[in-house]
Structure 1
C-alpha cells in the first residue's frame, strides 16, 4: 500500500513543528506528514491531495485558530473525507466545540494540550491500523462484487 497522508493543522508555528516532528519520527516510514498553519490552507492542501488520487488518512487540528475554528474545519473535512481519521487537539476548547466536532466532523479523538506523545502515538497507530483494515475490506468487497458480476454475465440464459 502506498504512503497515506497525515496533515497537522495549527496556527502556532512551534506547536505545529513539534507535532509534525513527533509524528514524522513515529510514522514517517509509512506516511507523508504535511502541515498547514490555517484551516483554509489545510483545505486547499486536502483538495490538492484528493485531486492527485492520494489518500488522506489522518488530520490533527487545533481548535482555536484565527478564521475557521477546528470543529468547523473538521466538519468541512468530513464532507470531503468521511472515512479519514480526525483528531481535535486543543488547550482551550470547551465541551460545546467537542460535541460539535463529534456530531458534525466525525471526530475520532479529542486530545488536550499539552499532549502525551506516547499516548497520542498509540491512539494514532490503532486508528491508522483500523483505517487501513477498513480500506482493505472495501477493496476486497469491490473485487468480490466485480467477480459476482462476471459470474452473472457468464450464466447460461
Structure 2
C-alpha cells in the first residue's frame, strides 16, 4: 500500500479558488478530498477515512471552529486545522483551547509553512493511532499475563494439595509402623 492511500486530507472552503490552490499544493503528497460546505465535508468524512482536515474559518452556513468542534465528537482522531484570512483570533484561540484545532494558518499562507504544518498533523495522527495500538497491545498482554498467573496459581494450589495429601498418607502409613516397632521394642524390654 502506498503512502498516498494512507494519508487522506479533507479541505473545506466556500471559495473555489482556495480549494483549487490547496489541491494543487497537496495533490502529489496526499489523497485530497474537497468540499465547499460543511454538509458535503461530513458526507466525505463518513465515506472516507480522513486523517487531517483543513477548514476555512468564515463560511456562510457554519464557521470553521463550529464545524471542527462538531467533527471532534464523531471523528475524534482527525487532526483539525483552521484557515483564516480574518483577524478573528479570539474564535481561533477559543477553538484551540477547547481542543478542537491543532493549528491555525492565516490566508494568504506560506506554502512551505503549510506543508510543514500539514505534515506535522499527519505525524500527530499516526502517532495517536500507534500509541492507541500500543496501549491496546499492552492491555491484551496484561490480561494474558493475569490469566497465566491465575492458571499457574491454581496449578500450584493443586500440587500443594496433592503434596499435603501424599505427606499425610506417608505419615499415616509410617506412624503406625513406628508405633508398632517402638511398642515391640518396649515390649521386649519388659
TM-score when scaled to structure 2?
0.71
Q: Does 1:62 align with 2:80?
A: no
What does residue 113 of structure 2 align with?
119
Q: Does 1:146 align with 2:140?
A: yes
Q: Distance in 1 between matches of 2:94 and 2:44?
A: 23
In structure 1, runs of 5+ residues without a counterpart are: none
The residue correspondences of 1:1-157 to structure 2 (distance < 5 A) are 3-25=6-28, 27-28=29-30, 32-49=31-48, 54=49, 56-104=50-98, 106-155=100-149, 156=152, 157=154
| Local SS of the residue matching 1:66 | coil
Whichever structure has more helix as a proportion of its residues is 2
Q: Give distance in 2, aligned partners of 1:145 and 1:108.
A: 28
For residues 61-114 of structure 1, what are the alpha-carbon distances to aligned partners after superposition, in whole Å with 9 as ceiling and x for unaligned?
001111111110011111122232111101125122212322345211111111
Contact 2:79 2:102 in 1 (8 A): yes
Distance 1:36 1:77 in 2: 14
Q: Are the aligned partners of 1:71 and 1:97 in contact in 2 as well (CA < 8 Å)?
A: yes
CA deviation string 1:26-57 (max 9, x = no partner): x23xxx210011111111221223xxxx3x21
* Number of aligned residues: 148
Three-state SS of the structure 2 residue aligned to 1:111 is strand
The alignment partner of 2:51 has SS state of strand
Distance 1:82 1:128 in 2: 14
Q: CA RMSD in A?
A: 1.8
- In structure 1, what is the Cα distance between the partners aligned to 2:99 and 2:124? 18
**1:139 CA drift (Å):** 0.9
Instruction: Select the structure that is richer in strand.
Output: 1
